Chains A and B, each alone.
Chain A
Amino acid sequence: MSSGRGIQSIEIGGRLLASLARQSGPRMLRDLAQESDLVPAQAHAYLSSLCRVGLVEQDSRTGQYRLGAFAMRIGLARLRSVDLYRRAGTAAHRLSEATGLMVILVAWGPQGPAAVQVSGGASLNLNIRRGTSFALQGTAAGHVFAAWSPQAEAAEMDSAAAIEVEATRERGYGIARNSPIPGISAFSAPVFDAAGRLALALTIVGASDALPDPNPVLDDLLRLTRALSLPAGTDEPQGRAQA
């Protein structure tokens, strides 16, 4: 327990948590144990305590494990305490209220781009909610991550997708027109952190006839994401989105 060395159990617990985040759906004890390099009895002791803390929960019928309610709470706390996330979240919410469109905050998750905040757009009857993931090919947010995120570099792309990603990079934002959902269009723009790394994508979704290209809402979105991408307290545009 010396302060220079840390607490080993926390790091072992972290392996189980990372395992649970990597694959969705309820997981069996023996699979989690194996992935975390623990014997089942040992993994069980860790999981029991992680359940008590609320980071994990166990299905009482099947005995399988999944991430718990506290896992959501700490992630949302990160979204509120990191300045860029907080400003982007508030701005997305306001943009949705002002336009009536669905506005989505998309972050890179353990399985690729995923919605972390969804505002408005209930009348579109889409099944987009927090936790919905966006494919790197064929979605506006996916194109943004494919274009600017180093984490997406390993992903395999067919040639049509590679051309679309290149077009996204040149244009400065991603477009998905009537696809993957007919009659629905989306625009997605990148938000960069102070170090110039892609932090988030902001996506607007609406009925295609309400979202022509170009349109004033897209201009609003781009103004917003450029302003968010500036280091807090600076006024000079950095032009990173065009880089």
Chain B
Amino acid sequence: MRKATGAAALDQILPRKEARGVQSIEVGGRILAALAEASCPMMLKDLAALAGIAPAQAHAYLLSYRRIGLVEQEEATGRYQFGPLALDLAIGRMTDLNPDLIATEIAQDLSQRSGMTVAIVAWGAFGPGVIALVEGQHQIHMNTRAGTIYSLTGTVSGRVFAAHMPERIVRDMLRLQARPDIRSGIVGQLHDYRVSEMEEIRRKGYASFDPLPVPGVAAISAPVFDDVGGIRLALTMISSAKRLGPEGLAPQAPTLVAAARHLSQQLGHDPAAR
């Protein structure tokens, strides 16, 4: 507890279990959830139906939401959409939210639940690089730490980026990584860029590699997307190969993909959007 006085004061007001709430806020929340779900301007009756609320009641809520600017009505059609306050709140959330911090929290949680080492990988000037490494239960002797740059085609993290970045940018980066001075500093071989393999990674939702690019070290990697649908990070799970069964890390893939998807949502990615 960093703020001992604040926390103590709160404990007196705040019953630990189920706090008393304000019912209208939660009913109103259903209308907002329905509008967010639709992701386009909506007529009152459709919105009310989607929220499971009588139109007259929904209208009363929308009147108040309009007053505070959370919702507005399109002039021409009378349809409802989110208003200026919604954007203000999102900007407030974005300002407060440090994506790297959230990524680290989710990586820590993933590592704890799976026992595996988890790397957070981001695109940098020389290719995909490790920005944070959360070590698992068992120490692995490997050439990865924060700052490590991965080959774009010869590592699972690299291949996740290669599969989701625009092809032109991938090809430019491959040329850069092939430069002798850069190549000597990166982990993994450089392989040919094969469109069919990239399609396979997108279809599966994660990348694996056989044979192991680094002997004795197994890894799988899943993409994390931002709100414009571009790849933002890769979450990579790493284990010593000899601790795993014949299927390697494949049984862990659903857990990894779920964590990556959760992180994408936290960063504002909406799979329906694009």
Contact = CB atoms under 8 A, between A and B. Distances in A.
A242 to B, nearest CB: 27
Given A9-B25, A109-B92, A14 B87 contact: no
Contact of B89 (A21, A25, A28, A119): A21
Contact of A130 (B25, B26, B172, B227): B227
Interface string A42-64: 00111011101111000001111
A159 interface: no
A11 B66 CA distance: 10
B13 interface: yes
Interface residues of B, number: 72
B22 A81 contact: no
B194 interface: no
A18 B67 CA distance: 13
Interface of B is mostly: helix
Contacts of B244: none
Contact of B64 (A6, A61, A129): A6
Interface string B1-40: 1110011011001100001111111101100110110011
A114 B95 contact: yes
A63 B10 contact: yes
B90 A76 contact: yes
Given A14-B70, A21-B92, A74 B82 contact: yes
Contacts of A129: 94, 99
A7 B89 CA distance: 20
A164 to B, nearest CB: 25
Interface string B227-257: 1101000000000000000000000000000
Nearest to B59: A3
B85 A14 contact: yes
Contacts of A238: none
Most buried by B among A50, A52, A77: A77
A125 B124 contact: yes
B25 A44 contact: no
A237 interface: no
A97 interface: yes
B268 interface: yes
Contacts of B209: none
Contact of A72 (B22, B60, B94): B94
A109 B19 contact: no
A216 B83 CA distance: 36
Interface string B103-132: 000000000000000000011110000000
Contact of B91 (A3, A8, A109): A109
A152 to B, nearest CB: 16
Nearest to B230: A119
B87 A61 contact: no
Nearest to A62: B3
Contacts, number: 247
A71 B89 contact: yes
Nearest to A8: B64
A67 B21 contact: no
A143 interface: no
A78 B86 contact: yes
Interface string A8-44: 1111011101101110111011100000000011001
A30 B9 CA distance: 10
A7 B60 contact: yes
A215 interface: no
Most buried by B among A25, A71, A133: A71
A210 interface: no
A114 B88 CA distance: 10
B94 A114 contact: yes
B85 A17 contact: yes
A122 interface: yes
A138 interface: no
B163 to A, nearest CB: 16
Contact of A67 (B40, B68, B93): B93
Contacts of B32: 53, 55, 70, 74
Nearest 7 pairs between A and B by C-beta?
A75-B90, A131-B94, A14-B68, A53-B29, A109-B91, A6-B64, A49-B21
27 contacts: A6-B64, A9-B28, A14-B68, A15-B68, A21-B85, A21-B92, A46-B22, A53-B25, A53-B26, A62-B3, A66-B96, A69-B93, A71-B90, A72-B94, A73-B270, A75-B88, A76-B270, A78-B83, A89-B228, A107-B87, A111-B91, A114-B91, A116-B90, A117-B227, A122-B123, A129-B99, A130-B94
Interface of B: 1-3, 6-7, 9-10, 13-14, 19-26, 28-29, 32-33, 35-36, 39-41, 56-57, 59-61, 63-65, 67-70, 81-97, 99, 122-125, 166, 169, 172, 226-228, 230, 265-266, 268, 270, 273
